[in-house]
Amino acid sequence: MKVQIGIVGDFCAEFGPHGVTNCFIEHAAACSGVEVASSWLDTDQVSGKALEQFDALWIAPGSPYRSVEGALTAIRFARENGLPLGGACAGFQHVVLEYARNVLGFFRCRPC
């Protein structure tokens, strides 16, 4: 069985953590004996339809994202659909932000 991992972030080859993210996934797959296929999904291209193909999501480092809402949409999709989810640096911070907004009700704009 092959596991499809979506890496949500705006890939930039010159940004070191993005290359390390690819290596991390390859290394984890090799160590666990799991066949993994990963692909990057730009934050401004996130939609429910695009996310349905993945078995798990990784929210990449590299804030600011082109679309913060795209990143939060992917995180919410994973949470609501029981998809395994991980994140590093800003990716993990966005996981916390999504949970705080949509589960705890924090950071909502309220009329004065």
> Tens of pLDDT along 68-110?
999 999 999 999 999 999 999 999 999 999 999 999 988 766 6
Fold held by 2-102: Rossmann fold (3.40.50)
Q: Give the whole-angstrom CA distance, residue 98 versus residue 109.
A: 14
pLDDT tens digit string along 3-23? 999 999 999 999 999 999 999
Residue 96, SS3 per DSSP: helix
Please state whether the predicted TM-score (pTM) of the whole model is above 0.85. Answer: yes
β-partners of residue 5 are 38, 56
